[in-house]
């Protein structure tokens, strides 16, 4: 019974956390595939030589929406 109570309490506590608590520290990058010239938004900094970060000095964005807006405005992404 104690185990069931502990499990229930843990589930309720997890559901009660604000959604933003999980997103804290999240970073997004606008990345361009060097072969296809297609841009995408990713949540991990690319390490492969097939892709490059687009933007001023490898810009890092706090929200996916900010990164998507920057991708639409980037000349490298709209020229393709």
| DSSP line for 18-59 | -HHHHHTT--BEEEEETTT--EEEESS---STTEEE-STTS-
Per-residue pLDDT, 63: 93
Per-residue pLDDT, 67: 92
Q: Are strands 51-53 and 39-42 parallel, antiparallel or unpaired?
A: unpaired
54 contacts 11 by C-beta, under 8 angstroms: no
Which pLDDT tens digit goes with each residue over 15-67? 444 444 444 578 999 999 988 989 999 999 888 788 888 877 778 999 999 99
Question: Nearest 10 degrees: CA dihedral of 18, 20, 25, 31?
Answer: 150
User: Mean pLDDT over residues 68-80, rounded?
Assistant: 82
Residue 9 pLDDT grade (very low, low, confident, very high; cuts 50, 70, 90): very low
Per-residue pLDDT, 66: 92
CB atoms within 10 A of CB 62: 13
Q: Where are the domains of the chain?
A: 25-80
């Amino acid at each position: 019974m104690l185990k069931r109570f502990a499990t229930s309490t843990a589930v309720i506590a997890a559901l009660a956390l604000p959604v933003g608590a999980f997103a804290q520290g999240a970073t997004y990058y606008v990345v361009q595939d060097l072969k296809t010239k297609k841009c995408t938004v990713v949540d991990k900094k690319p390490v492969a030589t097939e892709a490059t970060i687009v933007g001023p000095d490898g810009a890092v964005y706090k929200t996916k929406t900010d990164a998507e807006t920057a991708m639409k405005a980037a000349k490298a992404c709209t020229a393709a």
